Every structure is written in C-alpha cells, then in structure tokens.
Structure 1
C-alpha cells in the first residue's frame, strides 16, 4: 500500500441542496488530506448547484451535473471519474467523522487481500439532532460471504473500497433500483476480505420519506439479488447456507408485512415458505407462534 494514497470520495446526489453542502464540508475536513471529492448531481431540480458553487474554490472538489439517471448510474459515473487508489462514498444528506479515513485506511496496510473496510455508524434526525438507535446487525470481518448472504451488515456509506475491486469485478448493477450495495459486497466478498472497525465514522441521517421505508420493494429486490448471486457463483455457498438464507429472507419479509400492514394471511404464507427452506430455522418458528397468537385475539 502506498503510504499516502489518493482517496476519491463520490457523492451522488438528487435534490439534496439543503443538506449537501454540510455533507461535502465534513468530507473535505478529513484529517487525512490526500483526497479528491467527486459530486455527481443526478439531474437535481432544486438549488443544489447554487448551494455547491461557494465550495468549488477548493481544488479537491469536482462537480458534475448529469440528466437524472438514478442512483446506480450516478454512482458508477462517479467511480469512472475517480483517480484515487481507494474509493469511498457519502450520501448527500449524511456526514463523515473527521477521522474517518485516518481510522479506516490502515486496515488495508498489512493484507493485500483486503478489498473493503467498513465501520460503525451513528444517527441523526433531519434537523441534525443525535438519535439513540441500536445497531440492527452483528458485524463480521474476513471472508464473509456465508454471513453476508444472510444479512447485508455493511452500512454502505462507511465503506472504503480498493479501486482494484471495481476494475476486476464491476461496478453497481444499474438494473437494480434497490439493494445495489448488497449486490456489490456479495460479489467482492468472493475474492476479497472485508474488514470491520467499530469506530463510528459515518453519521446517517434519518428523515421522513426515505426509500429505506419501502419494505416490499426491499424484499423483492433482495430475492432478485440472491437468485442472481447464487446462479452466478455455483459452489461458493453450501446448500445448507443457501437454505438458511432463503428461510431468513422469507421470515423477515413475513414479519415486516405483518407489522406494517397488520395482516396475517400473507405473513403466514411467507413464514411457511421460510420453514420449507429450513425446517430447523428457530426464528421462523417463533414468528409463526407470534402470528398465530395475533390471529386468536
């Protein structure tokens, strides 16, 4: 590893003029200074361009405006514009801790097989007030494909990626409107180690109307991604792991629908499918009991 490699940061943004300048400032304020910042304005119709203009005096910053093409294409265009040995990302409404790169880059140093380094997150609301929110998933390091097929435990904006990974294994799948990061991490995990640091280097903003609340779309695309990965990578996962992954997906989908829509029939069907994939999957049995108890009330 170069002792002072250039790190490229991609901010792909659509109508985030209100938040984007603060996001950019936190990236530019890194204690690790050898950086370039590439902003891809994905056809914003708000005042994004006017908000960013005062920051363009910083020679490390490039602003590229394109017609609206969606997040996968915008991120890929950002990657193509990058010159760095490493590539990182920040969404246009989120923030970086000032020591993010200083903390994460050393994890690449001693092992050439490390392709991605990710970290922990903290949360703020739409006004910037800190939120006390538990982390939903256990984190893992090393060869993580068996774990990653079960849950996408890598918070997207925390990741720093060797550009070599994109060069060898491709960029974001532009046919996927959701789940593009999980699809990417799964591919990279077949060849590279993925390392974790518990440092909270990324601040995730939670606000009303985010795409992450679209639970039906999320599970639909999860199924597409799993089918794609399993069919494209025969032999990488054991059949037991594949069965467990499908069981977990259908169980989680069923409970998400039950909680959001206060319905029973469809969740029961999903949980039954989960158990057909893995009859020993205890969380699915627990979900079944919860649904049946709700049915008798």
Structure 2
C-alpha cells in the first residue's frame, strides 16, 4: 500500500450550516462550537432567516465575519434557510447546526473517521447519539439510539422520531439526487428528507453523543404544538403508505397484517391516534392474504392494542383534568 499517496489525499470539506431566526440568546455559543471543531477542512455558513430583533442576531453573526460566511434573507422558515445554505455551500458534506444547539468538539472528525473506515462511503449518511439540555431547569439527558439495520431504517423513521437532525453528516450529492428540505413543512421537514434519503443511502450510527440539543420555550415544537401534531400525523401516514411489504416484515419478523397490528400499539403509546387507526385499517385490509395463523393471532394483537389505547386515553384525560 502506498501510504504516501494516502497522506496526500485531501480531507473532505464539511459545510456546517447554521440557520437562525431571532437567535441572539444562543447563536454565539453555536458558532463557537462550530469553530472549535478539531477538524481542519470546514466552512461555516450562517443564514439569518429574517430576524426581527432590532439587529441583535445579525450583530452577533457579524462578530465572526472573518471566520464564517453570512447571509441574510426574508423570513421563510428553517427549511428555506437550510436550502439557501445548501445551495451556497462548497463542501463535500453537509452538517446542520441549529442556532440553539451545540456540537461536541469532535463531531465532524468522528464522523469523517467513521466514514473513512468503511469499505465504501459514497452513499452513506452518518448519525449519532446526542444529549438534550433542558435550559429552564438546567437538566442534561443523553439519548442512546439502537443500531438499526439498513433494510429496516425506513421503518424506523416511519415509527420513531428520536434521530437528531444536527447529528447527521450528509454527502452533498444526496441533495442533488433527492432534493432539498420541503419548504411547505415546519416540523417534519427533516424526517421527510431522511425518509427520502434512506431509499438509496445507508445510515450508519455512532454511539458517541456528538450534539447537545437545547430545549427552551421559544422553539417551534414548544410554541406550536397543534401544528406539529398535524404535520407528524400526516408524515407518519405517508410513510406507512410508502413502506414496502418487505421492509415492514423484515423489521418485525411477522406477517404484514401482524406487523401493522404491532404498529397500532406503537402509535397508541405515542398518542398518535389517527396514525394508529390508519395502521389498523392497513392491518385489517391485508389480513385475508396472510394465512390462517395471522387470522387466528390478529385478535390477540388487536385486544392488546385496544387495552393499551384505552388505558392511555383514561390516563391522559385524568392528567389533563388535574392540570386544570
């Protein structure tokens, strides 16, 4: 092996894109965590999405004018800011950093090292565990994700939402092939795109927590819960309709009807009742084609799901009454 040639091979360039709207309270920390990366070949792009805070957000970005690239645009939502950054980036890889989140110092290097250790990394997206800092009560929690087999990943995205978008490292070519973030979505634009990417890209997990996500009252998910719920329901239904029989069966090891019966329980536990009902209809529809064993076992799954759903509904109702 010619180690001299290996040493001469340039490091892939990584573009860290920071979309921000009225982020004066957090932006400086986010930029500094990007600048602190122990990886040499990076560019940092900050996109101001029409902040209306009397120039406070822009003033902070301008403090780093010699170290970052800064753009300002009319307000259009985080997807529009991310898409502008992707259009202007010059890197081989995209790394999203929300203005109120933080990177571990080795976020980029760890993921580049992970990819470089694979036989082929051209069609691979890296993601990692992460920590969540609840700002109001200064509580830090780590989220440890289970490894998911590539052929089960679309099922995982459809049924869960634990991946942190800022933990991903994405080849730029993935956007050229599958498109950018949907500018019609406000809450599920990230998972919508990961679901598309997973059609032809393999997602590889790193167990290290490489991101700290800060949770606070001004975030969209906190302020606009009804909108978030509606988008989440629509997204999950769409995923269930697009999953293939092979993907669903591979993920659960059951027939299709029983696999969707299992999903009914999953969505009931998440209080996504419209999605649970959608999964129930799919399960019922494919039951006659799954053989006598499924027909005999299906009532058990349905009874268990119904029991869990009823218990959860009663518990939620009592909790709301107490809150009043």
The TM-score range, normalised by the shorter chain, is 0.7 to 0.9
C-alpha deviation, 1:70, in angstroms: 0.9
C-alpha deviation, 1:135, in angstroms: 2.8
C-alpha deviation, 1:249, in angstroms: 6.7
C-alpha deviation, 1:217, in angstroms: 2.5
1:117-161 C-alpha deviation (Å, 9 max, x unpaired): 0111112233794x2435386452533112221112321111110
CA distance in 2, matches of 1:283, 1:198: 32
C-alpha deviation, 1:196, in angstroms: 0.7
Contact 2:126-2:204 at 8 Å conserved across structures: yes
1:152-202 C-alpha deviation (Å, 9 max, x unpaired): 232111111011111111111111121111101110111010011111110
1:246-294 C-alpha deviation (Å, 9 max, x unpaired): 6257514537xxxxxxxxxxx6x88666655556265553232343578
Q: How does 1:44-193 map to 2 (within 5 A)?
A: 44-46=51-53, 47-58=56-67, 61-109=68-116, 110=118, 111-112=120-121, 114-126=123-135, 129=138, 131-133=139-141, 135=143, 138-143=146-151, 144-193=153-202
When the two structures are aligned, how many residues end up with a matched partner? 282
Q: How does 1:156-235 map to 2 (within 5 A)?
A: 156-213=165-222, 214-229=224-239
Query: TM (normalized to structure 2)?
Result: 0.76
- Secondary structure at 1:107 match in 2: helix
Query: TM (normalized to structure 1)?
Result: 0.82
Match status 1:4 vs 2:11: yes
What residue is the counterpart of 1:18 in the other structure? 25
Provide the alpha-carbon RMSD of the alignment. Answer: 3.2
CA distance in 1, matches of 2:121, 2:258: 27
Contact 1:253-1:270 at 8 Å conserved across structures: no
CA distance in 2, matches of 1:81, 1:235: 39
- Secondary structure at 2:150 match in 1: coil
Name the one with the larger helix percent. Answer: 2
Structure 2, gaps ≥5 residues long: 1-5, 249-255, 284-297
- Secondary structure at 1:56 match in 2: coil
- Give the structure with higher Rg (CA): 2
What residue is the counterpart of 2:260 in the other structure? 243
